[in-house]
Chains A and B, each alone.
Chain A
Amino acid sequence: EIAMTQSPASLSGSPGEKITLSCRASQSVSSSLVWYQQKPGQAPRPLIYDASTRATGVPARFSGSGSGTEFTLTISGLQSEDFAVYYCQQYHNWFSFGQGTKLEIK
């Protein structure tokens, strides 16, 4: 099984700030990686798939990069609605999720 590790576990940010979240795979997953956003009481929502492609309706301030074992999700210009938990998931070999990064308001 491919293990996914996200860092940091939690992060504080201010509106307007640029932040970066990281996700590392225990072995190469090529570009088979998706980022989800989950708000309290809601289902996760896909933001970025294939490591760097924005899902339909996702604002341009969200961007993803990386391949192989190292991936990043960048939010350029935090907005109030962005404070949530972010998960990465690989789909190269079965499916496995990271443990999540909680983004809180500073």
Chain B
Amino acid sequence: QVQLQESGPGLVKPSETLSLTCTVSGYSISSDSYWGWIRQAPGLGLEWIGTIHHSGSTDYNSPLKSRVTMLVDTSKNQFSLKIRSVIAADTAVFYCVRAPNADYADYWGQGILVTVSS
């Protein structure tokens, strides 16, 4: 059973860097699959932030590209997300997901609420 779990600070100050980690269990992150981050602002819809392959290749959502970095750590079976220079509008529930063929998310973490506020 594939399981994903997000971790990281629930509160980040404006202009600082949001950092989250996703720990995968029940499946090797080195297997031929893609991994991603999706966010959902409170009461609003879903936005795909980016995807990463175990090889390290990434693809980011254009509006966020200048502020986002995703990395993979195969030794820990984890991948991570950093968003720089955050603003209040970055407040959201962040989900880490598996997207087997860089298509749709078939497994999701439970989500973590990150609030941007001073």
Contacts and interface: CB of A to CB of B under 8 A. Distances in A.
A1 B48 CA distance: 12
A71 to B, nearest CB: 13
Contact of A43 (B61, B102, B104, B110): B110
A55 B104 CA distance: 11
Interface string A85-106: 0010101001111111000000
Interface residues of B, number: 17
Interface in B14-28: none
Given A43-B109, A43-B110, A99 B103 contact: no
Interface stretch (A12-20, A44-52, A76-84): A44-52
A23 interface: no
A55 B108 CA distance: 14
Given A43-B109, A43-B110, A94-B61, A32 B103 contact: yes
Contact of B111 (A43, A46, A91, A99): A43
Contacts of B47: 97
29 contacts: A32-B103, A34-B104, A42-B110, A43-B108, A43-B109, A43-B110, A43-B111, A44-B46, A44-B108, A45-B108, A46-B105, A46-B106, A49-B103, A49-B104, A49-B106, A55-B106, A87-B45, A87-B46, A89-B48, A91-B103, A91-B104, A94-B48, A94-B61, A95-B48, A96-B48, A97-B45, A97-B48, A98-B45, A99-B45
Interface of B: 45-48, 59, 61-62, 95, 102-106, 108-111
Interface of A: 1, 32, 34, 42-46, 49, 55, 87, 89, 91, 94-100
